[in-house]
């Protein structure tokens, strides 16, 4: 086991990036076990932005904007591996499709969305048009769909497409500010976003397009992850992790890391993959 | 290493401001784990994202971490706006570029330092017919494009009086009107 990796507890954990490290907080039901928060990985000279989790191999993927690079490490420890380090500008979002074993990422300098296998091979550009500041990207492996948001101040939008690049569609473009965070809940089939411009968290059903506000008056959201009836977002102003109860439509808890600096990407790690197959998983 | 049993086993962390540290057993490398506010890195020698400086003064004079200085030509919602050591601006907006986002990008002109974004950098929009080599760049401040012979205007979009055929792409030709029979 690698000394700078401390394996998280077997249950569900929150994982978030903060100034040269990735931290984890065990979850007990929906509540954060704050006193058990630990550093998962130290990468002191890097600025980690996105974090993502592959539930099959129990690997954590992250993007670093200083190299820039996309890397991964096993939750059990071992050497981190750099997967992508050429032709990157500012990789700020990573999505994992655990069924077809692919990763997708956004880059706000190259203004692209790219795809590769989880080891970084078979890399392709999926989209290189109409992207200004693409940031969060999430996958819905069961339906072979991708969702991403672009915080372009002259026209922020949330888009979707199939994983093969077909059927690219704008899902939301009205009343958006800076949609920094995006998360998809496969069970309720709901896409939610955290917006640092409108200071709201909202959700949309991508099929019916029914849109619903969850909370408003939030501080400055950077990234968000859904877990059951909860949403957790990283807040640049409070330098904290905030819990939202999606059903009660209010903030219910917050965690202030000991170290005061902006938190970036957030995701969850969990012991079992959600059930499902898609047509790419059969190769 | 507290397992050897000598008086020098435990040494103070080589970290500023009383920050805690840990030893990576495999490499024996010491890493600071709780750097003072605004700093990061193995020895707290780096500034947080969005700041630049040399907080420990290694290899060059000590400079406290300061927010990126890019003439208001960066977006506070962006990440990685400047180099953490040199302060070089990396994500200039409003069509600016340069170490401090202090000049207009090629193909743009105006005052990158103007306070109103609308007055910052405008497109040269040089006329392709009237500009030497169909260049798209112009003079930084005035925006004057490099015009072909007898072509005029900032954007080389018109012939001088007494000349015609801008669209030739070789400059304008003299009209050759008879001065006695012409009205002006």
Arch. (CATH architecture) of B64-121: Ribbon (2.10)
Out of A44, A65, A151, closest to residue B41 by CB: A44
**CB < 8 Å from B in window 229-248 of A:** none
* pLDDT band at B25; cut points 50, 70, 90: low
Contact B105, B93 (CB under 8 A): no
Q: Do A261 and B40 touch (CB under 8 A)?
A: yes
Could you tell me the two tokens for A149? 């948001």
User: Chain B contact for A20, CB < 8 A?
Assistant: yes
- Give the residue among B27, B135, B166 at the shortest CA–CA distance from A44: B27
Give the CATH number, domain containing residue A170: 2.120.10.30
Per the structure, the complete domain to which residue A176 belongs is given by 13-269
In the A/B pair of chains, how many CB contacts fall below 8 A?
Answer: 61
More confident residue, A259 or B9: A259
**Residue A282 falls inside a structural domain:** no
Could you tell me the two tokens for A283? 């190769």
Contact A203, A244 (CB under 8 A): no
Q: Is the pLDDT of residue B26 over 70?
A: no
Q: Do B38 and A45 touch (CB under 8 A)?
A: no
Cα(B169)–Cα(A232) distance, rounded to whole angstroms?
Answer: 61
**CB < 8 Å from B in window 55-74 of A:** 65-66
**Residue A5 falls inside a structural domain:** no
Q: Which residue of B has its CA nearest to A66?
A: B80
Q: B138-156, pLDDT tens digit by residue?
A: 999 999 999 999 999 999 9
**Total tally of structural domains belonging to chain A:** 1
Q: What is the CATH number of domain B124-176?
A: 2.10.25.10
What is the mean predicted confidence (pLDDT) over A205-215? 97
Q: Do B78 and A108 touch (CB under 8 A)?
A: yes
**Residue A102 falls inside a structural domain:** yes
More confident residue, A115 or B30: A115
* pLDDT band at A149; cut points 50, 70, 90: very high
Out of B48, B75, B77, closest to residue A19 by CB: B48
Cα(A243)–Cα(A214) distance, rounded to whole angstroms?
Answer: 12
**Residue A23 falls inside a structural domain:** yes
Which residues are CB-contacts of A275 (< 8 A; sequence separation ≥ 6)? Answer: none
Out of A45, A92, A153, closest to residue B42 by CB: A45
User: Chain B contact for A194, CB < 8 A?
Assistant: no
Residues of chain B with C-beta less than 8 angstroms from the C-beta of A92: 79
Does the interface ipTM go beyond 0.90?
yes
- Give the residue among A182, A238, A259 at the shortest CA–CA distance from A17: A259
């Amino acid at each position: 086991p690698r000394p700078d990796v401390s394996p998280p507890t077997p249950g569900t954990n929150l994982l978030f990036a903060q100034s040269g490290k990735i931290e984890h907080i065990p979850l007990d039901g929906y509540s954060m076990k704050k006193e058990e928060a630990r550093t998962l990985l130290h990468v002191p000279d890097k600025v980690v932005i996105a974090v993502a989790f592959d539930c099959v191999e129990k690997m954590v993927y992250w993007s670093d904007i200083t190299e820039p690079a996309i890397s991964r490490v096993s939750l059990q420890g071992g050497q981190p591996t750099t997967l992508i380090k050429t032709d990157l500008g500012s990789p700020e979002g990573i999505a994992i499709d655990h069924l077809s074993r692919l990763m997708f990422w956004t880059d706000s300098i190259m203004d692209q969305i790219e795809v590769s296998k989880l080891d970084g091979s078979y890399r392709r550009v999926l989209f290189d048009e109409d992207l200004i500041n693409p940031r969060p990207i999430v996958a819905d492996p069961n339906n072979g769909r991708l969702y991403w948001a672009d915080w372009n101040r002259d026209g922020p939008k949330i888009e979707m497409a199939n994983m093969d690049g077909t059927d690219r569609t704008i899902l939301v473009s009205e009343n958006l500010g800076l949609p920094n965070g995006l998360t998809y809940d496969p069970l309720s089939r709901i896409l939610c976003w955290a917006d640092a411009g409108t200071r709201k968290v909202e959700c949309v059903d991508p099929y019916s397009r029914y849109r619903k506000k969850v909370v408003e008056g939030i501080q400055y959201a950077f990234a968000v992850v859904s877990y059951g009836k909860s949403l957790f977002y990283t807040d640049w102003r409070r330098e904290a992790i905030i819990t939202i109860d999606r059903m009660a439509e209010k903030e219910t808890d917050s965690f202030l890391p000991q170290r005061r600096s902006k938190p970036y990407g957030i995701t969850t790690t969990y012991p079992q993959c959600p059930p499902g197959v898609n047509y790419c998983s059969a190769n | 290493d507290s397992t050897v049993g000598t008086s020098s086993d435990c040494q103070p962390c080589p970290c500023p401001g009383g920050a805690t540290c840990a030893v990576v057993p495999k490499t024996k490398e010491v890493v600071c784990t709780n750097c003072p506010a605004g700093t990061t890195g193995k020895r707290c020698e780096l500034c947080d994202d969005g700041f630049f400086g040399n907080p420990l003064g290694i290899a060059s004079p000590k400079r406290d971490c300061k927010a990126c200085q890019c003439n208001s030509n960066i977006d506070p919602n962006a990440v990685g706006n400047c180099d953490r050591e040199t302060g070089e601006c990396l994500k200039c907006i409003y069509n600016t570029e340069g170490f401090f986002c202090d000049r207009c990008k090629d193909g743009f002109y105006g005052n990158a330092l103007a306070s109103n974004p609308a007055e910052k950098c405008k497109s040269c929009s040089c006329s392709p017919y009237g500009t030497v080599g169909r260049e798209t760049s112009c003079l930084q401040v005035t925006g004057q494009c490099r015009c072909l012979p007898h072509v005029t205007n900032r954007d080389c979009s018109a012939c001088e009086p007494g000349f015609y055929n801008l669209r030739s792409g070789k400059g304008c030709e003299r009209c050759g009107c008879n001065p006695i029979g012409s009205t002006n």
